[in-house]
Amino acid sequence: MARFYLTTAIDYVNSRPHLGTAYEKVAADVIARYRRLRGADTRFLMGNDEHSQNVYRRGRELGLDPLAYCDQMEEEFKAVWGRLEVSFDDFIRTTEPRHKAGVTRMLRQIADQGDLYEGVYEGWYCDSCEGFKQEKDLLGGECPVHRIKPKWLREKNFFFRLSRYRDALLAHFDAHPEFLRPEIRRNEILRLLEGGLEDISVSRSGQAWGIPMPGHPQSVVYVWFDALINYASAVGFGSDEALYDQWWPADLHIVGKDITRFHSVFWPAMLMSARLPLPRQVFGHGWVHHRGERMSKSLGTTIDPLEVAGRFGVEPLRLYLVKEIPFGQDGDFSYERFEQRYNVDLANNLGNLVSRVVAMAAKYCGGCLAAGVTEQTHLPAVANLAVRKYTEAMDRCELHNAVAAAYTLVDATNEFITAREPWVLARDPSKSVQLNQVLCEAAEAVRIVAVLLLPVMPVSAEVILTRIGDHTAAGERRFDKATAWSTGIERTLVVGPVLWPRAESGRQPTQNEKQEKFNS
């Protein structure tokens, strides 16, 4: 069986997740669900980054021991991800023993190569980034991400010889053009590499909150160096060699564009030094803006994803994030746009299509459709093309294009019904076979649409499949077979409540309306 190991960035727990954070997790979840549907043995990792000084300070502000605060925030984060239907297989915390074991081993292997040395760092340091900034990276003297003035810091640290790996990294990028995507991120990092690399600090002195530097307990491992190792420690590096051998290297790291440099320069260089395999691909996605402003905890521009989901439901939100924001680019969220797309994509389009097909089958055929024939007509050809384009897009992590491909079949099916006029055929008993064939084709097209949307809207898609007469157990469904066109089976279609009631401007669907799809 094929294997696929997927990770997201681990999150600081100094505050609850916001919509921008949720975007990354939902997108990664869509990829994980797609890989499972394709039959791959998939491991989807998420987690929390807990050794941040921001986390330490936040716990103290609340009068909590830092670890107790992190325990509390783990439950809050997992509750949000569960509500958003994010199906992670493993959740790592950087305070776990397995992670400490991995960090300690990584440092020792790097030290064995002569790539650690003591020195003094002096420069600008952004508390919010928990990172050092070069003068050329500042905008008007401020951190370009958090818009605050960094402080000048001078301290004795351990350094990693990052500069030693510049040529090796360039060679890797040349040999593996797929290593960093999208292309705009790859070009940015290539320019960085071509300009040369400086060694980086991997420790902080005078702090107790963190993993102690091996042999130097007066210092802790720098939070970024610590955090990157989670991808390997989560699969047993330093603690479970059999698990590590099974799952490493990772197939895909999903991270935000602002931390692409850490994942495509620092992390692979660390692995090269430790003589470990590199991940196969890093994907740096864009930011979610709200009315043109980047969502940021430090900027106070965040939106609670559960508040947004409360408007029209979790799965409409998942669809919006995946369909409306080109993966790899920045996108914008507004409640007005969310309502508009909810009405267009779900209430008026997909939801109405499902209701029409099921209602006509019930009205004209008692809900039972006899086996039809597979004809070389327009609709099967559109379905086959949609499946092919969907697959190609998903394999390239172009999630928005994959959903767009599914919706070409939705549109084509609506046009097919309008052109074939089954309500006219139903008036003539001599055309019952033709009527049955039209409804069979429409139902099959809807079934394939639902399969394509399973990774995006897993609950709603299963409801559609049940209504359309496909009762395959979710864990047993496989993409290739499930998306193959076939009208040669009898179907029993089931009428149910409206999946997505139309939203009137200024009025939210009632809780009962939003829950109908889960209760049907």
Residue ranges and CATH numbers for the domains of the chain are 3-303 (3.40.50.620), 345-519 (1.10.730.10)
Do residues 417 and 342 touch, judged by C-beta distance below 8 A? no
Instruction: Flag whether pLDDT at 233 surpasses 50.
Output: yes
Q: How many helices (H) and strands (E) does the chain have?
A: 22, 19
Within 10 Å of residue 67's Cβ, how many Cβ atoms? 13
Which residue type occupies 204? Answer: R
Residue with token string 């991120």? 185
Instruction: Flag whether pLDDT at 133 surpasses 80.
Output: no
In this predicted structure, what is the pLDDT of residue 511? 47
Radius of gyration of the chain (CA): 26
CA distance 91 to 74: 9
**Given 3-state DSSP classes, what are the helix, strand and coil percentages for the chain, each rounded to the nearest 5?**
50, 15, 30
Portion of the chain with pLDDT greater than 90, in percent: 80
Measure the N-to-C terminal CA separation of the chain; round to a whole number of Å: 35
Instruction: Flag whether pLDDT at 517 surpasses 50.
Output: no
CA distance 255 to 181: 11
Instruction: Flag whether pLDDT at 376 surpasses 80.
Output: no
Residue with token string 């989807």? 44
Tokens for 56, please give them.
Answer: 């330490």
Nearest CA to 238 out of 338, 117, 364, 97 is that of: 97
Q: CA distances (Å), 224 to each of 11, 202, 227, 505, in order?
A: 12, 8, 5, 45
Instruction: Flag whether pLDDT at 70 surpasses 90.
Output: yes
Taking residues 272-291, what's their average pLDDT? 95
pTM: 0.92
Which region, left, alpha or beta, applies to residue 14 given φ > 0 means left and ψ of -120 to 50 means alpha?
alpha
pLDDT band, residue 150 (cuts 50/70/90): confident
pLDDT averaged over every residue in the chain: 92
In this predicted structure, what is the pLDDT of residue 120? 83
Do residues 133 and 147 touch, judged by C-beta distance below 8 A? no
The secondary structure of residue 455, as a DSSP letter, is T
pLDDT band, residue 1 (cuts 50/70/90): confident
Within 10 Å of residue 63's Cβ, how many Cβ atoms? 8
Instruction: Flag whether pLDDT at 279 surpasses 90.
Output: yes
CA distance 270 to 278: 9
Taking residues 483-503, what's their average pLDDT? 94
For 391-429, how does the pLDDT look when each residue is reduced to its tens digit (9 = 90+)? 999 999 999 999 999 999 999 999 999 999 999 999 999
In this predicted structure, what is the pLDDT of residue 143? 75
In this predicted structure, what is the pLDDT of residue 475? 82
The H or E element spanning position 203 is: strand 203-205
CA distance 295 to 307: 15
CA distance 202 to 112: 16
